[in-house]
Structure 1
Amino acid sequence: MDFLRSYGPLPSSNAQFDEHVQSTAKRKNVRPLHVTAAKKDALEKAWASSDRPSVVLTGTAGDGKTYTCRRALEDAGADMTAWATEKVLDVQLPGKGPVKVVKDLAELTDDEKAEVYDAFAASVTGVDGAIPLVLASNDGQLVAFVRQFADRHPAGPAIDEAIRKMLVEESEVSADLSLRLYNLSRQPHDALFGEVVDAIVKHPDWSRCDGCTLLVAGTCPIRRNLAILAKSDDPSLRLRLSQLIRIAALNGTHLPVRQLLLLCSNILLGDGKS
């Protein structure tokens, strides 16, 4: 239950949230929840390509940018020793070469951002020997970043303009830069909700409740809530919530995966106030 509570509200950055959940899982000896790491395959493809472009993962807070970075690095066989302590990592990918990873642009000081910008500008403009970056950033922070430091590179204004154009046009590829930009806010909300629910209700560590007196007696409120959430027929709570989430998306309200996890956590455990 403490592990599920770790998906509740946390006043921190994307990277700190991911690390908070991971550390709780290790401390409680529970397997973390796994949902689709959006654009993980695209990251791996970029690392394996001959031109090795830099990649920006953007979107709103809670979309899983840091989570996607971590999952892609783990699958690529990278050494993750420094993941929990470093804000910027210089990683050697087996068989693919080096990459610089910025877990959350918002965590950096201006001096650190300036250093990252120099490396980023060199990479996207194709400077020989430049190391590609993976940069996780909210939309607004990204726009401010490329504008604030544009005077540090001759192509700075062009980089600023190109990235703004990519964001407005929702383009993933730039004709002028060695860059891929993936907006994780463009994921289908209702499908994501289904994934989150499945990850929770089908989690293998529910078996650790076996033998609990409340479970045996059929009076455990959490397991009752779990059974209700697991039902997917019509009508069901899960289906109706999925439909509401789809309607909200059509009305322009974005629910990132972090909020979907919070919703499910509250359904099972309550909000702590009642």
Structure 2
Amino acid sequence: MVRVSNPFVAFLNRYTTASPDHEAAFDEYVSNGPEPPAGSLRLTTKIEQFLTNQFRQPQPPSVILTGNAGDGKTYLCRQIVNVLQGKEPERWENLIDQPIEYNTMRFFIVKDLSELSEEKGKEILLRLSQTLQTPDQRDRYLIAANEGRLRALLSTIVGHKELKEAIQTQLDQGPAYHQSLIVLNLNRVATSTFVPAALAWMTDQRNWQACNECPIQLKCPIRFNMTRLTAQPVQQRIKMLYEVLERSNEHVTIRDMLIHLAYTISGGFDCTQAQQQVQERADMSYLAYYENIFGRDDDAGFRRKSHVTRLLHRFNIGSQSIFAIDEFIINGGETIEEQQHHQAIFGETVDLHFKAFHQARRAYTEGIESERGQDVLRWLPHCRRKLFFERNHPDDQQLLPFRYFSIYQRLLDQPQGKHEDIVSQLIGGLNRAFSRLYLTQTGQLRANERLYITTQYVHSVNQPHPIVLLTLPIENIRLIVNTTSDQHLDLPARSLYLHIAPPPTQRHAEPVEWPLNILLFEHLMRIADGGHISILADECELEVRRLKDVLIQQFATVDISANEVAFFVPARHRYELRRLRIDEQGRLAIS
């Protein structure tokens, strides 16, 4: 077999390679490779344009960039140096003390404050502080810093109140654009917005022309993945997975995204390995992009290395049996249109090991007692994942372990809506979570109209009876959406909160605003609907307990004059709210 190697495959694998240089200086490591035929990756972002506009002003501010390793701090510093001096920096360390002259201003660039000694880092911050005290100074700074390192250095500086307040306030509350110092936290950037652009560059046909001479191009899993990932529906599915992570309060850096998407295409294989697999007639279905994207079981090393893969692997997409989906995979649908659609998705391609899946499916449907007839069960998870990305059907959404993700997105897109029905369901979920009882809308109990905040249990024989310490009507509870439309964000940051107002007896108490990410929202909605899966319980029960503690601490009071205690008791197939009261004659009465 004639050996053909595509240099771009090797370039992609530079992203997925594990080495000290790769981890410590990702931007430099990747940029030192040969430029691909389609050119270097260029992600145009609002934050880059914002910085460029700021530094081109006659009186620009100084800027501090914070964020995780891999958020693009070095990349942004490189782009700004290009703007200021028209070329790449030759030696970054020179820019710390030797400024770039631009528009009568002197710009000092620190691409990583963590690389400097504590003494030098303090010196840089003190020099920055002087520019705040004398705004007519010509010196300006662009500093990239890990937030922890930045806060640690600030704590060692005595005095310089203006510098400390300017940095700490913006770290906690967001940037203030009209000060002489702007602090931008790259953790607030939604990486999902860049997924389509990154995939468009990785699948650009100019980068894959070398494959045209390859004898295995029709059987190559890398080439197959590249072709599939050019499809817009597939790209949108991948983007949606990133959005789910962001709604779960999981920040994905640009570096994490590029590592993950590169591995999704190549699976860590190079051209030589792929050609050898074809020559050996090996089953390469496990290298399909929808297997790589969740981290393959045979490559546990990469799963440990890849933050995104570890997060997505928890979703277990494809492991759950859903009758409508499995029926389509095995039987191909009832109508001619469905059967044609089935053939288009499950044709004889490398991701289904050519005829192997079809032979197993035929043996199973025809009732042939053989090992091949049982192989179709092995194919089902694989085929479910394929459907998730390549078929636009409502059933496929069920493969994602978030039944209520579309509702959650709708709430964020309609910030002015009242959403009483959703609030009612959330109250029902909270009541069941607080009391550990399956409370329902029966009798005088309004489990979805009033929030019952319970405290310690009273025991009668072996049956626990949670005491109701506080009750809040549904009118005190509403959903609100906080929107942050910062100039440097490509996507407005939106957060969902449950706003809980205090009872009339505590009118001076501050309302409680409880952030609802997709995990908590899904957890409560599933409890309200009658059940939940364990992964959500593990992630969310502690947060629900904290909410209960906050509500008791801020809203609950002991009213001695009430002479009453409320508690839940079992009544056949439901629970009822009972009140134990001491009347004026000192007699006990239960209602």
TM category, shorter: 0.7 to 0.9
The answer (yes or no) to whether the contact 1:58–1:137 under 8 Å persists in 2 is: yes
Q: Which residue of 13, 16, 19 maps to 1:5? A: 13
AA matched with 1:222: I
Query: Residues 124 and 228 from structure 1, CA distance in 2 versus in 1: closer, same or farther, beyond 3 angstroms?
Result: farther
**Partner in structure 1 of residue 76 of structure 2:** 68
Q: 1:149-164, aligned counterparts within 5 Å? A: 150-151=157-158, 154=159, 156-164=160-168
Aligned identity (percent) is 24
Q: 1:117-156, aligned counterparts within 5 Å? A: 117-126=125-134, 128-148=136-156, 150-151=157-158, 154=159, 156=160
Deviation of 1:46 (Å) = 1.9
The answer (yes or no) to whether the contact 1:102–1:134 under 8 Å persists in 2 is: yes
Pairing 1:171–2:180 present? no
**Greater relative contact order, per chain length (Cα 8 Å cut-off, separation 6+):** 1
Deviation of 1:86 (Å) = 5.3
1:109-158, Cα deviation, whole Å (9 max, x unpaired): 1232123123221223335434101011122222222222x22xx5x233
Pairing 1:265–2:294 present? no
TM-score computed with the length of structure 2 as normaliser: 0.41
Unmatched segments (≥5 aa) in structure 2: 1-8, 270-297, 300-591
Larger deviation, residues 198-207 vs 11-20 = 11-20
RMSD: 2.8
The answer (yes or no) to whether the contact 1:102–1:136 under 8 Å persists in 2 is: yes
1:80-132, Cα deviation, whole Å (9 max, x unpaired): 34246657363425546321111111111123212312322122333543410
**Partner in structure 1 of residue 25 of structure 2:** 16
Deviation of 1:53 (Å) = 1.1
AA matched with 1:63: D
Larger deviation, residues 113-122 vs 6-15 = 6-15
Q: Secondary structure at 1:214's aligned position in 2?
A: coil
**Partner in structure 2 of residue 99 of structure 1:** 107
Q: Name the CA distance, whole Å, in 1 between partners of 2:38 and 2:232.
A: 26
Q: Secondary structure at 1:193's aligned position in 2?
A: helix
- If each structure's strand is expressed as a fraction of its own residues, which one has the higher value? 2
Pairing 1:32–2:34 present? no
Q: Secondary structure at 1:33's aligned position in 2?
A: coil
Larger deviation, residues 5-14 vs 58-67 = 5-14
Deviation of 1:213 (Å) = 2.6
Structure 1 or 2, whichever has the larger Rg, is: 2
Q: Name the CA distance, whole Å, in 2 between partners of 1:180 and 1:14.
A: 28
**Partner in structure 1 of residue 466 of structure 2:** none
AA matched with 2:208: W
Q: Name the CA distance, whole Å, in 1 between partners of 2:252 and 2:61.
A: 29
AA matched with 1:168: D
The answer (yes or no) to whether the contact 2:65–2:183 under 8 Å persists in 1 is: yes
Deviation of 1:10 (Å) = 5.2
Unmatched segments (≥5 aa) in structure 1: none
Displaced runs of 4+ in structure 1, greater than 6 A?
none
The answer (yes or no) to whether the contact 1:87–1:102 under 8 Å persists in 2 is: yes
**Partner in structure 2 of residue 210 of structure 1:** 212
The answer (yes or no) to whether the contact 2:67–2:146 under 8 Å persists in 1 is: yes
Deviation of 1:67 (Å) = 0.4
Q: Name the CA distance, whole Å, in 2 between partners of 1:91 and 1:203.
A: 41
Q: Name the CA distance, whole Å, in 2 between partners of 1:88 and 1:2.
A: 35
Pairing 1:41–2:38 present? no
TM-score computed with the length of structure 1 as normaliser: 0.83
